[in-house]
Amino acid sequence: MKLKICGMKYLDNIKQVATLQPDYLGFIFYEKSARHFDTKVIPELPETIKKTGVFVNAEIDFVIDKINKHNLQVVQLHGKETPKYCNDLRHTKLVSMPLPIKIIKAFSIKDEFNFDVLKPYETVCDYFLFDTKGKLPGGNGLTFNWNTLNKYPSTKPFFLSGGIGIEQIKNLKKFQQSIASKYCYAIDVNSKFETKPGLKNIEFLKEFKQYIITK
């Protein structure tokens, strides 16, 4: 099971979190977010950590600029981006990398979810991400009913997100024994590991990552 730590903001904290060797580190390029990454440069990270830019209904040129500027390997689209938008982004030539950018398309769930909306995205993104529907596009600190994913009709790997913290470890173990977890590729954590927006608690993350490794 892969681990993505999202909402990184402070340079020293980013360096500390990077020592834990998560698989993905997420940087939010959305001004309305309390975790908006407005620093000029992301610190140098180990090659094993994929730098992920999170965007919400951004112009493609803005996304491309951030990809090239920060050498992002992955883009997470957390708004109402269309399949055409995803396809156009995939086929854009990038200065920073010769291969198409990896795309995570996020969808919000409350109690029910119409999985038919996934079909047009099957061929234009690499992963899905399921988060909790709330007032903000992400980082609401709330979980959704993971049993909803028992009806997941796709074979595309997905990220499980939304209010996941230390207190969810037992529930995660149950989830991993369910049908719903078959295509769960990664756990995405954010607000439940913070002392304030964007500042992550290293000890909590260490404990949680140990669970991920020894699951």
| Local confidence pLDDT in tens for the 215 residues of the chain | 899 999 999 999 999 999 999 999 999 999 999 999 998 889 999 999 999 999 999 999 999 999 999 999 999 999 999 999 999 999 887 776 777 899 999 999 987 899 999 999 999 999 999 999 766 665 556 889 999 999 999 999 999 999 999 998 889 988 988 988 999 999 999 999 999 999 999 999 999 988 765 54
80-83 contacts at long range (C-beta below 8 A, 24 or more positions apart): 81/57, 81/105, 83/120, 83/121, 83/124
**What residues does 3 pair with on adjacent strands?**
187
2-214: CATH topology = TIM Barrel (3.20.20)
CB 56 within 8 A of CB 27: no
Domain boundaries, the chain: 2-214
What are the φ/ψ torsions at residue 38 (nearest 5 degrees)?
A: -115, 15
For tokens 């086929």, the residue is 91
